[in-house]
Amino acid sequence: MSQQLRPTLLCIGLNHRTASLIRREESAFDPQTQVQTLQRVRAGEVPGIHQLVILSTCNRTELYAVTTPVEGHQTLQKAWEGLETLFQSHTRLSLEGLRDSSYCLSGLEAVWHLFQVAAGLDSVVIGEPQILGQLVRAYEQSRLLGTVDSFLSGVMQRAIRAGKRVRHETPLQTGAISISTVAVRLAQQSAGSLTEKRVLVIGAGKMARLAASALARQGIGALLVSNRSPESGAQFALEYGGQFFPWERLSEALTLAQVVISAFTVDAPRITPALLRQPSPDPDQPKLIIDLGLPRSVDPAVGAVPHIKLYDLGDLRQFAVQTITLRSTAIAQAEALLCEELQAWERWQSERSAVPAIRELYQQAQKTKQAYLLSLFADTPNLSPDQQAHIARSIHRQMQRGLHPLILNLKARAAGDLPLPKRL
């Protein structure tokens, strides 16, 4: 396979660095839309794209795709157009809004970006652990729906491997924090000590549990829990020693709480000024509300309600930036490890170009072996079937030994077609 026929990884996306919170909300893929989009790709409805992984989180939406060589050349431009149209058609962004807020990466640059995402180096909170699990789930979904083949599967698996190595072989995750723990730190900075305060956590998913764990470590006056599902909400409250409020009593819980951490997923804001009309039990103490949702679960108009301080993911990003400088050494070590993984991936990719030649070499060797055995057995008709089988196995082993150095040579030549990647 010549170099120009190699598959190329494409990435189009936007994240907390390139897009406002509003635009990230408008570009997020809900689970149903994500499945429908992958099904369209599997059905061949997107020109130039037959492989796709969609990564949609609270801080990024990214589509990873692979171009398919057609009639001796890559339809790169066609693939970009198809990918951009696919992205824009499933969001609330205009084409101009998408182009203003997104990035388009291809080839080694796209692979490097994917590795950084998997390692947590492209996150709001550097080194946060959640993104790797989110990437694994995105890859598994695409694999189950049939939108990854050997190339995209290979690069995804290598990125996941790189992310795991960074977490286990560097100090990047030592004292690692998540968005939820950043929210708790922000609450402490804004509201002071939480040891005497009632804190309401809305939701019962991963982010809500991380917040509850962080609150437990810091110590609070009382934990209140509310959730749309009474079963999971009550269980969550029981596990963390909190008081559960059914969804119909959310307004009551909001009134009682002095700090609110909203960590549930909705398609439109559910916490509105109307839910906060009851007087606060502490009129001299502003109520602090931190919204971890994307799309946002708290109506921005809540921020205009008297005696309420509202923070969202955009505010948390600014608060978390300070962690970057504290981890500069760990970041450098993580990037060096990613460079090793990138070189290993590129060598694997280069060696794949030798596969057709290796396959042809093996087929020719098989034909030669079969012709030799037929001639040998014709000249020695008195051999028993067991003797013939023993001779055939012996000759096959000799053929494998002879092919091994030739195959290694072909792979080495293929890998030498491209220089080792430099650190990007």
Is cis: bond before 306, omega within 30 of 0?
no
Secondary structure of residue 253 in the 3-state scheme: helix
Count of CB atoms situated within 10 Å of the CB of 424: 14
Query: Cα–Cα distance between 119 and 132 in angstroms, integer?
Result: 7
Asked whether residue 421 is assigned to any structural domain, the reply reads: no
Q: Do residues 337 and 162 lie in contact, with contact meaning Cβ atoms separated by under 8 Å? A: yes
Q: What is the pLDDT of residues 250-274, one digit of tens each?
A: 999 999 999 999 998 887 788 999 8
Q: What is the pLDDT of residue 111?
A: 94
Q: Which residues are catalytic?
A: 58
Residues 86 and 221 in one domain: no
pLDDT above 70 covers what percent of the chain?
85
Residues 224 and 272 in one domain: yes
Asked whether residue 17 is assigned to any structural domain, the reply reads: yes
Q: What is the pLDDT of residue 3?
A: 44
Show the domain range for 365.
Answer: 355-415
Find the range with the poorest average confidence among 75-79, 112-116, 245-249, 259-263. Answer: 75-79
Residues 204 and 332 in one domain: no
Residues 194 and 295 in one domain: yes
With cut-offs at 50, 70 and 90, classify the pLDDT of residue 403.
Answer: confident
Residues 248 and 345 in one domain: no
Q: What is the pLDDT of residue 97?
A: 86
357 pLDDT more than 60: yes
Asked whether residue 18 is assigned to any structural domain, the reply reads: yes
pTM recorded for the entire structure: 0.68
Residues 230 and 89 in one domain: no
Q: Do residues 264 and 294 lie in contact, with contact meaning Cβ atoms separated by under 8 Å? A: no
Q: What is the pLDDT of residues 118-145, one digit of tens each?
A: 999 998 888 888 899 999 999 999 999 9
Q: What is the pLDDT of residues 3-50, one digit of tens each?
A: 445 688 999 999 998 998 889 988 999 889 999 999 999 998 888 888
* 353 closest CA partner among 422, 423, 406, 418: 418
Residues 195 and 303 in one domain: yes
CATH number, residue 288: 3.40.50.720
Q: What is the pLDDT of residues 309-342, one digit of tens each?
A: 999 988 887 777 655 555 677 888 889 999 989 8
* 65 closest CA partner among 138, 167, 162: 138
Phi/psi for 327 (5° steps) reads -120, 25
Asked whether residue 131 is assigned to any structural domain, the reply reads: yes
Residues 250 and 220 in one domain: yes
Strand partners, 150: none
Q: What angle do CA 261, 265, 269 make, to 5 degrees?
A: 80
Higher per-residue pLDDT: 101 or 367? 101
Which of 320, 343, 374 is the C-terminal boundary of a domain?
320
Residues 11 and 84 in one domain: yes
How large is the C-alpha radius of gyration of the chain?
28
89 pLDDT more than 90: no
Averaged pLDDT for residues 133-159: 94
> What b/e sequence results for 210-222 when a residue is b if at least 16 CB atoms lie within 10 Å of its CB, and e otherwise?
bbbebbeebebee
Averaged pLDDT for residues 104-117: 93
Residues 168 and 33 in one domain: yes
Residues 144 and 117 in one domain: yes
Asked whether residue 424 is assigned to any structural domain, the reply reads: no
Q: Do residues 293 and 321 lie in contact, with contact meaning Cβ atoms separated by under 8 Å? A: no
Asked whether residue 151 is assigned to any structural domain, the reply reads: yes
Write down the residue that tokens 């906060």 correspond to.
Answer: 276
CATH number, residue 51: 3.30.460.30
Asked whether residue 132 is assigned to any structural domain, the reply reads: yes
Residues 213 and 264 in one domain: yes
Q: What is the pLDDT of residues 381-397, one digit of tens each?
A: 888 888 888 888 888 88
Asked whether residue 420 is assigned to any structural domain, the reply reads: no
DSSP state of 416: T
H or E, element range at 420: none
- Domain tally, the chain: 3
Give the β-pairing of 49-56 and 60-67. antiparallel
Which of 267, 300, 320 is the C-terminal boundary of a domain?
320
Query: Cα–Cα distance between 348 and 236 in angstroms, integer?
Result: 45
